């Protein structure tokens, strides 16, 4: 595992964007695993800037996102599809048909999970997975549990996750209670994982994830077992 301490959010974003852009430059047909939340917004902003300067070309890139809320349509500003279009895809030369986010309004959610697993098989592996971590250690929407969920699944969100994510909604009742999330196995199969963690409040869970016991009660702890993990963090203190 490679630990990189960033000075602040801006520095963290630029460092992560540098790694992602190197990936795309070295392999224009890269499959990128992408994340939502506050953490990656700065990375996407930086990548857009470099795209505008003609430094990166996304025309051959494929993306797969980690998760989506159940019940939110792509046009809903709180959906993760909307987030990705708004913060990233609308501003770069990516072929939108090569960008994938689980469909949270599928009639049959189990079938949608199967289809997403099939897609992950078809793209033949994620080259680089950008990842954030939740305050309770969740990655994607893999919540603390008695066992690791391997593949894409429907998950009931924990009260603490609903609480943490209510800031994006008008009121807490509007936060969906469930989501579709890529599973731990699919995340772990990415060739390179770039974990970005910002904020003092994430320090303890990051430390626990990276140096505590590997347990499904702290989903991020599984990352210790990945052979190519880069952690870029700005949590006010050295790990
Ligand atoms: C959300 C997302 C995760 C994200 C995490 C942290 O619930 N499903 O993929 O990593 O929470 O979000 P943030 O970066 O806003 O702290």
- The CATH number given to whatever domain includes residue 91 is 3.40.50.1360
Angle at 223 (CA atoms; ends 159, 130), nearest 5 degrees: 80
Domain tally, the chain: 1
The reply to whether 49 falls in a domain is: yes
pLDDT number for residue 19? 98
Enclosing H/E stretch for 115: helix 109-122
Q: Which residues are catalytic?
A: 67, 136, 138, 143
Reported as a pLDDT band with limits 50, 70 and 90, residue 125 is: very high
With a pLDDT cut of 90, the percent of the chain lying above it is 100
In the predicted model, is pLDDT for residue 156 greater than 90?
yes
Q: Is residue 193 assigned to a domain?
A: yes
Taking the CA of residue 177 as centre, how many other CA atoms within 13 Å lie in the half-sphere pointing to its CB?
1
Instruction: Tell me, yes or no, whether 138 lies in a domain.
Output: yes
Mutational test site, ligand 1, from 33, 34, 35, 161, max ligand atoms within 8 Å of CB: 35
Average pLDDT, the chain: 97
Residues with Cβ within 8 Å of residue 127, at least 6 apart in sequence: 23, 27, 30, 31, 32, 190, 191, 192
Euclidean distance between CA atoms 170 and 145, whole angstroms: 28
Residue 239 lies in a domain: no
> Is 168 inside any structural domain?
yes
7-66 pLDDT tens trace? 999 999 999 999 999 999 999 999 999 999 999 999 999 999 999 999 999 999 999 999
- Across the range 101-106, mean pLDDT stands at 98
Q: How far is the CA of 137 from the centre of ligand 1 (A)?
A: 10
Which residues line ligand 1 at a C-beta cut-off of 6 Å?
35-39, 66-67, 132-134, 140-141, 161, 165
Please name the residues in contact with 144: beta carbons below 8 A apart, sequence gap of 6 or more.
136, 137, 138, 158, 216, 217, 218, 219
pLDDT of residue 225: 98
Query: Domain for residue 155, yes or no?
Result: yes
CB 9 within 8 A of CB 38: no
Boundaries of domain holding 217 = 2-234
Tokens of 133: 């971590």
Instruction: Give the Cα separation of 39 and 106 in Å (integer).
Output: 27
* 135 vs 204: CA distance, rounded Å: 9
Using the 8-state DSSP alphabet, how is residue 221 labeled?
G
Distance 158 CA to ligand 1 centre (A): 13
Statement: residue 124 has pLDDT above 90: no
């Amino acid at each position: 595992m490679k630990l990189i301490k960033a000075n602040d959010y801006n520095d963290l974003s630029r460092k992560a964007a540098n790694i992602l852009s190197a990936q795309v430059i070295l392999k224009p047909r890269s499959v990128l695993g992408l994340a939502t939340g506050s953490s990656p917004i700065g990375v996407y902003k930086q990548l857009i800037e470099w795209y505008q300067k003609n430094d990166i070309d996304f025309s051959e890139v494929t993306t797969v996102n980690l998760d989506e809320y159940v019940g939110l349509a792509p046009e809903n500003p709180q959906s993760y599809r909307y987030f990705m279009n708004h913060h990233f895809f609308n501003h770069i030369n990516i072929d939108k048909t090569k960008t994938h986010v689980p469909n949270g309004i599928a009639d049959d959610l189990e079938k949608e999970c199967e289809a997403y697993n099939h897609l992950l098989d078809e793209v033949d592996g994620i080259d680089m997975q950008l990842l954030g971590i939740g305050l309770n250690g969740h990655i994607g929407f893999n919540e603390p549990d008695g066992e690791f969920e391997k593949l894409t699944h429907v998950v009931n969100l924990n009260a603490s996750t609903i609480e943490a994510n209510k800031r994006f909604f008008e009121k807490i009742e509007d936060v969906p209670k469930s989501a579709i999330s890529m599973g731990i196995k699919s995340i772990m199969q990415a060739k390179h994982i770039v974990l970005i963690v910002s904020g003092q409040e994430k320090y303890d869970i990051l430390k626990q994830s990276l140096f505590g016991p590997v347990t499904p009660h702290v989903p991020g702890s599984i990352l210790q077992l990945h052979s190519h993990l880069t952690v870029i963090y700005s949590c006010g203190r050295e790990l």
